[in-house]
Amino acid sequence: HQEEHHRYLAFRKVRHTILRLIGDHYRRPKGTHRSWQGCDLDLTGVTIDGNIDFQSAEFSGSTVSFRDATFSDGTVSFRNATFSDGTVSFSGATFSSSTVLFGDATFSGSTLYFTGAEFSGSTVYFNGATFSDGTVSFIRAEFSGGDVAFHGAEFSGSNVEFSSAEFSDGTVSFSDATFSGGTVDFRSATFSGGTVSFSVATFSGSTVPFRGATFSGSTVYFDDATFSAGAVSFSVATFSGSTVLFGDATFSGSTVYFHGAEFSGSTVYFHGATFSDGTVYFDDATGAVPQGLLTAVGTPPHAGVTLPAAWLLSAP
Q: Which of residues 48 and 6 earns the better pLDDT score? A: 48
Contact 165, 191 (CB under 8 A): no
Q: pLDDT band at 284, cuts 50/70/90?
A: very high
Strand, coil or helix: 310: helix
- Average pLDDT value over all residues in the chain: 91
Q: Give mean pLDDT, residues 262-290.
A: 92
d(CA 291, CA 130): 35
Q: Give mean pLDDT, residues 171-194.
A: 93
Model pLDDT, residue 5 = 64
Strand, coil or helix: 5: helix
d(CA 116, CA 32): 36
Please provide the DSSP assignment of 47-98 as one string: EE-S-EE-TT-EEESSEEE-TT-EEESSEEE-TT-EEESSEEE-TT-EEES-
Model pLDDT, residue 14 = 83
Q: pLDDT band at 56, cuts 50/70/90?
A: very high
Question: For residue range 65-109, what is the model confidence (pLDDT) as tens digits?
Answer: 999 999 988 899 999 999 999 999 999 999 988 899 999 999 998
Model pLDDT, residue 208 = 95
Model pLDDT, residue 90 = 95
Q: Which residues pair with 141 in a beta bridge?
A: none
Strand, coil or helix: 2: helix
What is the residue type of 26? Y
Q: Give mean pLDDT, residues 144-164.
A: 92
Q: Give mean pLDDT, residues 228-234.
A: 94
Q: Give mean pLDDT, residues 296-302.
A: 87
Q: pLDDT band at 157, cuts 50/70/90?
A: confident
Model pLDDT, residue 10 = 73
Q: Give mean pLDDT, residues 249-267.
A: 92
Model pLDDT, residue 302 = 84
Report residue 106 CA to chain centroid gap. 15
Model pLDDT, residue 74 = 87
DSSP 8-state secondary structure symbol assigned to residue 298: T
d(CA 285, CA 104): 39
Q: Give mean pLDDT, residues 151-160.
A: 93
Q: Indicate whether 118 pLDDT > 80.
A: yes
Strand, coil or helix: 217: coil
Task: Please name the helix (run of DSSP H) or strand (run of DSSP E) that holds residue 16, with its range, or none.
Answer: helix 2-27
Question: For residue range 1-17, what is the model confidence (pLDDT) as tens digits?
Answer: 777 767 766 778 888 88
Model pLDDT, residue 316 = 67
